[in-house]
């Protein structure tokens, strides 16, 4: 395992980075589905 990967997986700042990346991905998926649903439900008028 490379030093960078080991540091990424074993330090607090590495775990915070993993959490942040995961949170951004989950939020993007949620917002995409939310907007898509609301565009389909939108009525004219």
Interval 15-34: pLDDT, tens: 999 999 999 999 999 999 99
Spell 6-42 as b/e; 16+ CB within 10 A means b: eeeeeeeeeeeeeeeeeeeeeeeeeeeeeeeeeeeee
Residue 43 — very low, low, confident or very high, per pLDDT cuts 50/70/90? Answer: low
Higher pLDDT residue, 43 or 2? Answer: 2
pLDDT band, residue 41 (cuts 50/70/90): confident
């Amino acid at each position: 395992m490379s030093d960078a990967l080991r540091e990424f997986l074993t330090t607090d700042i590495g775990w915070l980075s993993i959490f942040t990346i995961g949170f951004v991905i989950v939020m993007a998926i949620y917002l995409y589905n939310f907007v898509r649903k609301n565009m389909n439900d939108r009525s004219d008028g």
